[in-house]
Amino acid sequence: MTPAPTTPPARKLPQGHRPCRSADPDGPRPAPAPDASRTTTRADTRTTRATSVTPVNPVSPVGPVTPVGPVSRSTRRTDTADEPVTRLALAARDGDPEAVDRFVRALHRDVLRYVAHLSADPQAADDLAQDTFLRALGSLHRFEGRSSARTWLLSIARRTVVDSLRHAAARPRLSDRDDWQAAAEQAQPRGLPGFEDGIALAELLAAIPAERRQAFVLTQVLQQPYAEAAAAIGCPVGTVRSRVARARATLIEALAAA
């Protein structure tokens, strides 16, 4: 009887030694190598995110767009009406004699009404208007059209009236007696038609301080926008609105007391 083969005892491996993987196809398979196409590092992720983010405020190829606010109807109407006058002023500046005549005729009425109410002296209005246009034509070479010709001319008219009032205040009075014709005209009763002629309105405006009077005349009599009036006077728009409101309140009180 043949003895059964004996199995040799298993060898003990030293501590820390790992056995080699079995070549048996049924044994455990090694882990597959990582796919390079799916491997993504943190640096790659940051780069991808940085390149895929759309800028918040993209720059337009035609340049920055300036937002345009709402424009009131009165401002659009005045700007449109003043464009022909401004073109006449620029043509007159360039030496066109016909443009000079048309420019004076186009704005003579507005200047005459403005200086009459501003000076509170209708009798001196013609001289003040003439002086205004003489000053304007003398400085026309400096007009660049940045503002409307109407605003530019009314600012000259304002300075003309101020200079006239200063000159009259510094001039000695020849007599303390009032002109009897002017006194008689002021004593005559005037009704509503007087406002249409500007006579009664001039008397009421004469009692208003000069700063409020000129703001009221520009915006309420000459129908200039508050921005144009502020440019002619040389003060903020809010100041013009405040002066007009106070002038209107004074006129209402005067009419109520009449």
Spell out the domains of the chain, with CATH numbers in brackets: 74-169+194-257 (1.10.1740.10)
**Looking at this protein, which amino acid is placed at residue 21?**
R
Tokens of 53: 């983010």
CA 29 – CA 22 distance, rounded (Å): 9
CA 111 – CA 161 distance, rounded (Å): 11
Greatest alpha-carbon span in the chain: 171
What region does 21 belong to: left with phi over 0, alpha with psi -120 to 50, or beta? beta
**Looking at this protein, which amino acid is placed at residue 56?**
V
At 229 the pLDDT is 87
What region does 214 belong to: left with phi over 0, alpha with psi -120 to 50, or beta? alpha
Task: Tell me if 110 sits within 8 A of 124, measured CB to CB.
Answer: no
Q: Which residues contact 205 (CB under 8 A, 6 or more apart)?
A: 117, 120, 213, 216, 217, 247, 251
Q: Is pTM beyond 0.75 here?
A: no
CA neighbor of 113 nearest in space, from 213, 188, 209: 213
Q: Which segments in the chain show pLDDT lower than 70? A: 1-81, 168-201, 258
Q: Which residues contact 182 (CB under 8 A, 6 or more apart)?
A: 123
At 13 the pLDDT is 53
At 87 the pLDDT is 94
At 21 the pLDDT is 52
At 208 the pLDDT is 86
